Structure 1
Amino acid sequence: MPEDFVIARNPEEGSSLPYVLRIPYGDRGVLLKARETWPRTSKVYCHRFEEWPENAEIIERVPVTSCVRRGAAIDLVLDRSREARSQFVISYAKGGRQAIFWQTARTAKQARPHVRTPRARASGVAELAIVVDSQERYAWKFSDQHVVTDRRRLPAGDYGVMWEDELVAAVERKSLGDLVSSLTTGKLKYQLTALAALPHAAVVVEERYSRAFQHEVVRASVIAESLAECQVAFPTVPIVFAESRKLAQEWAYRFLGAAWVAAGQDRPGEEYFADLATGAELPAAEPTVAEIRAWAQANGLRVSDRGRLSAEVRTAYDAAHRAE
């Protein structure tokens, strides 16, 4: 097994990945082409290849302290004081194509927005029933949302909500690689055609818009023009860049919840107005954080002007309003 981590220049002319790497893992090592020699400012896309080029010019050869695989990642620790720890994350784009990203703790942190998703239910729905397309790989779990899922074949989109067995809203999920691929092959226009036939639909991308202009192969102008053409041709189906997988999931949950409630208002069924039919009152909407904070301040409770509310404040609010 190779003992050093090796970086060399890629002798392949015209390659968009000008460096080759050898990770000392396994009998022959893992060989990758890469755009950079280290993920200093952002994650670095890498691509597998089979044979180490004989005429490759070695740039760096660094002894390795540790090289261990942990699930879908290889953790690499180099024997030097700076730029010593990094990780190669193995993922799969839609269609099964392997994608490898080289990152450090710093670049991984930069890729994650520093936000907490809200805990309130989407449109006040106690438990939203979301249908996940049976062909969706690595589907969202909705573990942080009030959701129950069911897998079946959808005529459009990857996630949807039904009203009386009719698909009333759908969301097509895209990684950045899948988005660019479907744009350049024309597949996205067929998907948008199917989505546009629904009352409510959207495409959600698990990445920032700016990252679309850093693609390794397709020119930024081609991607920008193709996206603009799709939005003009299908104005009722927004293409939303949600910055991360977690935020894309949260956006889809809110969108599908609002669409389901709208479907019930447009064509209510027996279940939608079951409480009204029996003369019972509909449950009140959940209070917002601002409303609870204002109540606490008015009643002399200690509460910060910003941030999350303590459990004690929420308990006091609930107790007071149950008494009412």
Structure 2
Amino acid sequence: MPDDFLVARNPEEGSSLPYVIRIPLGPDGIVLKAREPWPRTAKVYCHRAEAWPIDAEVLERVPTRVCTSRGAAIDLVLDRSRENRSQFVLARAKGRHVIFWQTPRTAKQARPNVRIPTARPRPGDPDTPDAGPPIPAELEILVDSYERYAWTFSRQQATTRRAPLSVGDYAVELDGRVVAAVERKSLQDLSSSLLNGRLRYALAELSGIRHGAVVVEDKYSRVFSLKHVRPAAVADAVAESQARYPTVPIIFCETRALAQEWTFRFLAAALHEARLDLGAAPHLDDLERAGPVPPREPTTAEVRAWAVAEGLPVSDRGRLRPEVWDAYRASRR
């Protein structure tokens, strides 16, 4: 389980990065030096530190709800109502590692190393700090040999190749291994496969790969106009499937053309992510681990209760005298 996220003053004199932060990732955490204590108006540049400084003055200590790594990024969610969501992105610039700390406000998209323009996917921009290795200029999409009336992707920058697929109807490979797949359904096929249980097996297979999805060539609202089945049963089955297999989204697209377009973009982005996961880009393993976290500072109430138990004279409220704090710290050594 994640522990606390720490922000402290950097004890190094003359440093251009005046703050030290500890990310609670892994058993020892990761320590970075940062220009700001939080990315409020712009991305914050960070640099890795060897270890947590013993004499650092802790400014903030916040419990963490989520701290996970994905490729070259760390997603961090703190247990507070404001300034709680952020992301650390590891990239390379001029041959060295650089780390940027960003929030939804300071980044238009919180998707490191993936560029999906409004037109068509194209190679990543090497001048962008978030850019990773480029995707192919023309994507090769595998089409299952048993797929009838298959999409041709004639309007996209893609080629297709027929091949027997063990999972999904459309897929992309990396080093001979399927890394992303999409199961295509019409609304009638979706409803029948949900009710007879076939789709559950397909979802289980798709959940076994890094990127899997089901795309439906129709609107979700059309579920409630089905004639030969009970619409509520189909809607419940969709919801139950998503709850059971949360990593495999079921996407409703209005038309066949939009479903094909979504599949093309999904497979392109998934292939890009898979290449990053295989080490083609900077990875979080390049960062040194922080070591043990310093103990939490006691609250005034805790020290007051200790002082009362020890028979020391203290007031019922307000600040405590420095000698009381010194006595408490001495008792803990």
TM-score by length of 2: 0.45
Report the structure number with the largest CA radius of gyration: 2
For CA contacts below 8 A with separation 6 or more, give which structure has more relative contact order.
Answer: 2
Which of the pair is proportionally richer in helix? 1
